[in-house]
Structure 1
Amino acid sequence: MDQQSTVKKASVALHTERVISEISPLIFGGFAEHMGRCIYEGIYDPASPLADSRGFRPDVMSALKDINYRIMRYPGGNFVSGYRWQDGIGPKENRPRRRALAWRSIETNQFGPDEFMEFAKELGTEPMWAVNLGTGTIQEAADLVEYMNLPTGTHFSDLRAANGHKDPYGVKYWCLGNEMDGPWQIGQMDAATYAEKAVQAAKLMRWVDPSILTIACGSSATSMPSYPDWDRTVLDRSYDQIDYFSMHHYAANPYPSATNMGLEKDTDSYLASNVHFAEHADTLGAAIRVSKVKNRSKKDVFLCWDEWNVWYRARGGDGDWSEAPHILEEEYNLEDALVVATWLNTFLKKADVVKIACIAQIVNVIAPIMTKSDGMFRQTIFYPLALFSNHAAGMSLDALVKAPLQNTKRYGPVQVLDVSASFDPQTGKGASFLVNRSQTEALSVTVSWEDRAPQSLTQAWQMSGGDPQAGNSFEQPDRVTAQDLALPPLDGNSVTLTLPPLSFTTLLSQHAPA
């Protein structure tokens, strides 16, 4: 049997006015935590021969800019629940060294609030600050808002000016703690206790700066015994004091099996993980709607998926009381990149409720970029991140997909083709994102635009390979990348292209602007 005879068929129907919602650019965000080598030896590495006078690596900065992050969460994560922000300001020689209990490492505080703000400015990204609601007080959270956002004339704003930054930073987005339901968290609380502290912190922080937007903690994982009751309690009690509600999840293969309590490697189910992602967003979206009604509120609260990624190999988080320990340095492969692509598809398909998302993290620690003192490389997950962030804009379209089903142990029958699409009516630019999650069969896919044909197809890229475990390394940095794809011919209002097994394809189209 030849290859052509084994190709199955699928179709995608798009209509530029069949819209899910406007795409928030903030779904293309990152997360930088004082953890392992994310900050030190990652984005800040003054000892590197490649570093500039500020300690930033131009090569790393260039790669981060290629992803086009729109928002950046900082400084944690578990780290923030024991963080004293004033340790990281002022002359570096006076900053204290501390034990960072979350990751059993030494925090030198050589990179702190002002350095992060300089990094965010250089990167061109919106900063999103997390405040310490573990060991920290609501007053300390309000003081940080004063330091960051107020004009000079008060103690902490004058302190910022004395540290060389006269003008306010104007930080808009503020996370009210991190994963406060987790027993691993410094200062763990039950839902009612956390909700009360979050409400009082948000109230005081807003009295300092009424323009800020706040994000409350949801459950740290869907596997938590308290999920989704924690979420309902926090939402019910804090609804009118918050603007976003946080959610976290990490995908894995192998996956813990409920039947044998061991590890079961299951690539077909893993590649269908976005079934779970969508259910997670739907559950919390429903909880938000119920809380809005219960609070008789007129405001909307949206989801902030501020920790997401593949993470399961490098699970050891013990830094053994060292500086910048080499922990959680996940090595990603092709199947991981495909899962990341389906996750980004989910963000577009849930664009009506998911308005912020931050991949955890950005350098070295479960990250798309890996560094050593004199070099770096891009991991497989770098490519879907960059393609979505740079090309998904405007409106998320409700794509009608017909495709063969593939049976999975975890989720039952799932379409083998996963699709999202965007259209910007201002520019006429469209983008389609297609994942063939079959390990063995190619797909012949016809994409049709029902209301108006593209004037042209402008560019296409594809990631694929026969080995789902193939990845990149310092020795082989370009083993798995997104390659330019020859544009298929446009036939009226449709185009047909072949998607190899285990592939992610991005197709750009140009339409007449509205």
Structure 2
Amino acid sequence: MRKMQAMTDATARLDPYNEVSDIDRRIFGGFVEHLGRHIYDGIFEPGHPSADAAGFRQDVIDLVKELGVSTIRYPGGNFVSGYKWEDGIGPVEDRPRRLDLAWHSTETNEVGLHEFQEWLDRVGSDLMMAVNLGTRDTAEALDLLEYANSDADTTWTAQRAANGRPDPFAVKMWCLGNEMDGPWQVGHRNADDYGKIAMRTAKAMRMLDPSVELVVCGSSGRGMPTFGSWERTVLEHTFDDVDFISCHSYYQEMGGNAQEFLASGVDMAKFIESVVAIADTVAATKKSDKRIMISFDEWNVWYLHNEEGGQNDKPEERGWPVAPRLLEDQYHALDAVVFGDLMITLLQHADRVRSASLAQLVNVIAPIMTEPGGIAWKQTTFFPFSITSRLANGRAVRVPVDAGTFTSEKLGEVAKVNAVATVDDEGVSLFVVNRSTTDAADLKVDLSPLVSALGRSVTVSESHLLHEDDIYAANTLTDPERVGVRAADASVDGSTLSVSLPAVSWAAIRLS
């Protein structure tokens, strides 16, 4: 029996000419790090009933393909700041075992650049490579770039060919280190020192391959004490040589305050808009028309802190294991609704967010979970990502909603209902979230500008609703299909779209 909810009237207007920008498909990227069971016992498990000849789980490949990730950032993450990329090439039996300081684990190097590219070819995603600027420098980044991208006759390219890859990997996007503002990072630097090494590395990489697109490290969170000053200093050094600055942000419910958690999308929007303002200020001081774009290359719901405010998952207490169970968060329906709102926020800023990476994909704070020798299943966050990735094409369109507000302790007045639309040659997709924990919303969307632009009527061709009366319901090993999506209560009458949105719900409507 469903709970009775108060009803809020909500109105919106969908004007196909109220454009944000065209959508860069790299906004639907993912992230794979050598961390916990992400690679070993996750994507790679020789001996699993579904494993192919290379040891990759076919059931995981199928789910990643369904998820629809475009570009995948690799190999980290914190891991990259201590990684020697050379350890992951050549005969597997000759590769060294190394201690990973970031996650206090042992890395076997069974999977490296070649194997990961094989897996990417199977899932249909592009590689986004991170270079180590924590314990290494410009020279090692150049060696990796030459090995990966050069078609010249050199020692590195000959070694690549001997390792089974005569043709270049042709990696387009490169991250200049990872979270170098974080004291936890191996090789942590201040903004001035990092800006200098990033500038030197960027200039050198462009000399070798002018076609690369480079991402410089921004802050690893809006709450960092150096946020703002870090971006300004780093961009003052690197502005002429990079294309993107990164944003990283994770969200979680704290203290059982679901309503505050549901405001997370507003925090993400403020983060994006602040970084854009800083980047454009640097551009103005340099009298430049260039616009630095944002690579939001780590984002997710992550229960990083326990209820007492302490750090969860302390790998140093586990010795130096291979592929330990780390950061295996179980996501519930509430998490998925917040997650869907974060995707709406990214689309609302598609003019400057041209790349984004869901962190991460399998087992580690992931939409896909696996059991060694057993099943793979979808977490609740799988659904808003896979549906949005499939339906959001063409260009993003603003959809202002009037539905009242609630008061956030940290963010002030927050709209109860948030929405964005995308328009392509085949139709229109509307993505909407009801952030209220108490009130259902009866949303009426004025489609008259759309109908006028098309010169014909529109209909609902598909709809999806993610909502559970128990907002803490989750998919688990023993009940992997507890939470899913169902058809939304959505219909078009003339030029009005009506959508019923229960409290704490996310929906996607396709009009054609």
TM over 0.5: yes
Describe the shift of the 1:47–1:152 C-alpha distance in structure 2 as closer, same or farther (beyond 3 A).
farther
Alignment partners' CA distance in 1, 2:206 and 2:134? 20
Is residue 467 of structure 2 the alignment partner of residue 464 of structure 1? yes
Letter in 1 for 2:467: S
Question: Kindly, what percent of the aligned residue pairs are identical?
Answer: 40
Please name the residue that 1:494 is paired with: 496
Deviation track 1:146-178 (CA, whole Å, cap 9, x = no partner) reads: 111111511111110000110111000000000
Secondary structure of 2:303's counterpart equals coil
1:295 is aligned, of 276, 286, 290, to 286
Q: Which residues in structure 2 correspond to 1:421-440 (within 5 Å)?
A: 421-424=421-424, 427-440=425-438
Query: Following TM superposition, by how much is the alpha carbon of 1:127 offset from its aligned partner in structure 2, in angstroms?
Result: 0.7
Are the counterparts in 2 of residues 214 and 243 from structure 1 also a CA contact under 8 Å? yes
Deviation track 1:370-413 (CA, whole Å, cap 9, x = no partner) reads: 00122111000000001111111111111121102223333232
Please name the residue that 1:304 is paired with: 295
Q: Which residues in structure 2 correspond to 1:95-494 (within 5 Å)?
A: 95-254=95-254, 264-312=255-303, 315-318=312-315, 319-373=318-372, 374-424=374-424, 427-453=425-451, 454-485=457-488, 488-494=490-496
Are the counterparts in 2 of residues 152 and 166 from structure 1 also a CA contact under 8 Å? no
Please name the residue that 2:308 is paired with: none
Give me the TM-score of the superposition, normalised by structure 2.
Answer: 0.95
Deviation track 1:105-140 (CA, whole Å, cap 9, x = no partner) reads: 000000001111111121111210000001112111
Please, which moves more after superposition, 365-374 or 453-462?
453-462
Secondary structure of 1:451's counterpart equals helix
Please, which moves more after superposition, 287-296 or 323-332?
287-296
Letter in 2 for 1:497: V
Query: Following TM superposition, by how much is the alpha carbon of 1:7 offset from its aligned partner in structure 2, in angstroms?
Result: 2.0
Is residue 505 of structure 2 the alignment partner of residue 503 of structure 1? yes
Please name the residue that 1:257 is paired with: none
Alignment partners' CA distance in 2, 1:490 and 1:218? 44
Please, which moves more after superposition, 438-447 or 21-30?
438-447
Alignment partners' CA distance in 2, 1:480 and 1:3? 17
Alignment partners' CA distance in 1, 2:5 and 2:74? 52
Alignment partners' CA distance in 2, 1:497 and 1:300? 38
Describe the shift of the 1:212–1:508 C-alpha distance in structure 2 as closer, same or farther (beyond 3 A).
same
Alignment partners' CA distance in 1, 2:27 and 2:146? 27
User: How many residues were matched structurally?
Assistant: 497
Secondary structure of 2:232's counterpart equals helix
Query: Following TM superposition, by how much is the alpha carbon of 1:19 offset from its aligned partner in structure 2, in angstroms?
Result: 0.5
Secondary structure of 1:282's counterpart equals helix
Deviation track 1:478-498 (CA, whole Å, cap 9, x = no partner) reads: 111112336x43211112121
Secondary structure of 1:442's counterpart equals strand
Query: Following TM superposition, by how much is the alpha carbon of 1:5 offset from its aligned partner in structure 2, in angstroms?
Result: 9.2
Alignment partners' CA distance in 2, 1:5 and 1:150? 61
Please name the residue that 2:454 is paired with: none
Alignment partners' CA distance in 1, 2:3 and 2:145? 61
Alignment partners' CA distance in 1, 2:391 and 2:51? 30
Alignment partners' CA distance in 2, 1:4 and 1:218? 45
Give me the TM-score of the superposition, normalised by structure 1.
Answer: 0.94
- Specify every segment of 5 or more residues in structure 2 that has no aligned partner in the other structure, as ranges: 306-311, 452-456
Alignment partners' CA distance in 1, 2:345 and 2:293? 15
Alignment partners' CA distance in 2, 1:175 and 1:296? 26
Alignment partners' CA distance in 2, 1:479 and 1:171? 39
Alignment partners' CA distance in 2, 1:229 and 1:30? 28
- Specify every segment of 5 or more residues in structure 1 that has no aligned partner in the other structure, as ranges: 255-263
Secondary structure of 2:384's counterpart equals helix
Are the counterparts in 2 of residues 253 and 270 from structure 1 also a CA contact under 8 Å? yes
Letter in 2 for 1:413: E
Secondary structure of 2:239's counterpart equals helix
Query: Following TM superposition, by how much is the alpha carbon of 1:265 offset from its aligned partner in structure 2, in angstroms?
Result: 2.8
Alignment partners' CA distance in 1, 2:193 and 2:410? 35
Describe the shift of the 1:202–1:317 C-alpha distance in structure 2 as closer, same or farther (beyond 3 A).
farther
Letter in 1 for 2:94: N
Alignment partners' CA distance in 2, 1:28 and 1:317? 30
Are the counterparts in 2 of residues 152 and 161 from structure 1 also a CA contact under 8 Å? no
RMSD between aligned alpha carbons? Answer: 1.5
